[in-house]
């Protein structure tokens, strides 16, 4: 079945630092790829997605590029803020359900 591997956290950064959270996947066919974010005390919400190879998803300064050759969908942001502190989940969508990674907690400090 499908699987997602993402880097373990917590990741602690200073404000304005560059962020990378690695994500690789295994899936059959041509799945869509997603990043979801869970802010403290809130439900998961979609951050960005990409539906085919070489697509770049972007939102709120975050970006991720669908790399089929490396089966990766790494999340990046050039300058993080304290308000970005949350848990980030990478997911692959094949068929009718999403398969999630274990989540990466990000803490951004002043």
Partner 1 sequence: GAGVSQSPSNKVTEKGKDVELRCDPISGHTALYWYRQSLGQGLEFLIYFQGNSAPDKSGLPSDRFSAERTGGSVSTLTIQRTQQEDSAVYLCASSSERGKIGELFFGEGSRLTVL
Could you list the residues that contact partner 1 (CB under 8 A)?
Answer: 4, 32, 36, 41-46, 49, 89, 93-103
89 closest CA partner among 73, 100, 99, 80: 100
DSSP 60-100: TTEEEE-BTTTTB--EEESS--GGG-EEEEEEEEETTEEEE
Of 2 and 84, the one with the shorter C-beta distance to partner 1 is: 2
Element (H, E) at 6: strand 3-6
In whole angstroms, the minimum distance from the beta carbon of 66 to partner 1 comes to 14
Of 3 and 14, the one with the shorter C-beta distance to partner 1 is: 3
In whole angstroms, the minimum distance from the beta carbon of 15 to partner 1 comes to 27
Of 29 and 110, the one with the shorter C-beta distance to partner 1 is: 29
In whole angstroms, the minimum distance from the beta carbon of 89 to partner 1 comes to 7
How far apart CA 4 and CA 71 sit, in angstroms, is 10
């Amino acid at each position: 079945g499908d699987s997602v591997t993402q880097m373990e956290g917590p990741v602690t950064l200073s404000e304005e630092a560059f962020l990378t959270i690695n994500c690789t996947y295994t899936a059959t066919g041509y799945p869509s790829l997603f990043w979801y974010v869970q802010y403290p005390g809130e439900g998961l919400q979609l951050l960005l997605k990409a539906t085919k190879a070489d697509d770049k998803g972007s939102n709120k300064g975050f970006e991720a590029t669908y790399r089929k050759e490396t089966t990766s969908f790494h999340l990046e942001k050039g300058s993080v803020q304290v308000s970005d502190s949350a848990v980030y989940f990478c997911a692959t969508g094949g068929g009718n359900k999403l398969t999630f990674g274990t989540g990466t907690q990000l803490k951004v400090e002043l």
